[in-house]
Amino acid sequence: MEVSIVNSSAVHRLRLVSGPEGVSFILLLICSVLKRTTSFDAVPVMGMVHGVLFILYVVFWIQAWQAQKWDAKRGVLMFVLAVLPTGGFFAERMLAKEERGELKPATA
């Protein structure tokens, strides 16, 4: 029973950070465009926010990969979703389905 709680919490933490990480990435891209086209420069602030969320995503991704014993394909997919502008939203949906038991985790 304890193992499932650890696995569930690892996936839950990754799911919780996926959405905000995706939003911060899109906002950082918008701020980058605004910096070059206007006098508005929020890149330093959004860069830091996104950087912290991305680091949290990576830490939680590693924990979830180890706890869930995902195969390499699933583990790499979850990382690739973090570096795509809207990938965090897809990762959040997949992880929510996995938490509800609608999607079986791919294991090695």
Amino acid 90: pLDDT: 92
Report the half-sphere exposure of 11 (CA within 13 A, side-chain side): 25
Contact yes or no for 101/108 (Cβ under 8 A): no
Shortest CA distance to 85 belongs to which of 37, 27, 32?
27
Domain boundaries, the chain: 2-99
The string of pLDDT tens digits covering residues 5-20 is 445 788 899 999 999 9
- Cα angle, residue 50 at apex, residues 52 and 47 outer, rounded to 5°: 105
For residue range 62-71, list pLDDT tens digits in order: 999 998 888 9
Tell me the three state secondary structure of residue 38. Answer: coil
The pLDDT tens digits for 21-71 are: 999 999 999 999 999 999 999 999 999 999 999 999 999 999 999 988 889
Radius of gyration of the chain, Cα coordinates, nearest whole angstrom: 15
